[in-house]
Amino acid sequence: MRISNIVTLAALGLVGSFTWAAEPIDQDQAIRQSLKSIDPKIKIEAIAESPLTGVFEVHLQGGRVLYSSADGQYMLQGFLYQFKNGQALNLTEQVKSKAIAKEINAVPLSEMVVFAAKEPKTHITVFTDTDCGYCQKLHREVPELNRLGVDVRYMAFPRQGLASHGYNGLVSVWCAKDRQAAMTEAKSRKELPPGTCENPVAKQYELGQLIGIDGTPAIVLANGELIPGYRPAPELAKLALEAK
């Protein structure tokens, strides 16, 4: 049974069937044992106390978060909010954003296609597919984003998978001598020469899936906040500058 099935079982209190003695519980071990009993391959990044007494945050690879009882027998997935000064703060999304930012920041800029602003104030990372209409629309607004002080960093996400026309187009971009020019040509619906080089397209596609991307464009702000879909340049620049 994979992680996608855990939430249903956890909500019914069916994760694990352990009997614990009266001595203090090793929460970390108990929670890991419960999850590993269902999915031995699950990657647990960290386990930490949550703001709720007796409830622990389980940080999974890619920014996913579960909440667990100390003994690991009860788990749930969802949003944890803190109501403060008349506002509802989504604490789960904050944790997820930090994890996504960490994943993105680990990718070298040399593996991205970067359109840099002359006077950069912040940056966005865009998972893109050259065949995607809204990706093409967003690309036409890159000069305006640059003018507003936003670096645009492209990563590859072929929506139809690694055997698609979009994948081949992205490989051609990453293998081109001038990646910026190739990206612009591809998003102008021009066919590029086939790419034959070692490239990070498949690796970036895998990363995108890991952090929850399922369509393009998918935009990650500097703080790790994930924005699905197209946004006009003025709106996107405002969000990016607020998140720097």
**Domains of the chain and any CATH numbers:** 3-82 (3.10.450.70), 109-242 (3.40.30.10)
Q: Does the annotation mark 129 as catalytic?
A: yes
Q: How far apart are CA 207 and CA 210, in angstroms?
A: 5
**CA 133 and chain centroid, separation:** 21
Task: Record the pTM.
Answer: 0.84
State CA 240 to chain mean position distance: 16
pLDDT of residue 234: 98
Active-site choice (131, 135, 153, 231): 135
Which pair of tokens denotes residue 235? 């709106």
Catalytic annotation on 135? yes
Which listed residue (64, 131, 151, 159) is catalytic?
A: 159
Comparison of pLDDT for 1 and 244, the residue scoring more: 244
The pLDDT value given to residue 1: 45
pLDDT value of position 21: 43
Three-state DSSP class for 158?
coil
User: What tens digit of pLDDT does each residue of 24-67 get?
Assistant: 568 899 999 999 999 999 999 999 999 999 999 999 999 999 99
Q: Which of 132, 151, 153, 231 is catalytic?
A: 132
Alpha-carbon distance values, 185 to 125, 195, 215 (Å): 20, 14, 21
For the record, the structure tokens of 54 come out as: 């007796």
pLDDT for residue 95 is more than 80: yes
- Condensed to tens digits (0 to 9), the pLDDT of residues 107-162 reads 999 999 999 999 999 999 999 999 999 999 999 999 999 999 999 999 999 999 99
Q: Clarify whether 132 is annotated catalytic.
A: yes
Q: Is 189 a catalytic residue?
A: no
The pLDDT value given to residue 26: 86
Nearest to residue 227, comparing CAs of 235, 87, 144, 140? 235
Give the per-residue pLDDT at 228.
95
What pLDDT shows up at residue 12? Answer: 36
Strand segments (E) across 80-234: 81-84, 87-90, 113-115, 122-128, 150-156, 218-221, 226-228
Report the pLDDT value the prediction gives residue 131, as an integer from 0 to 100. Answer: 96
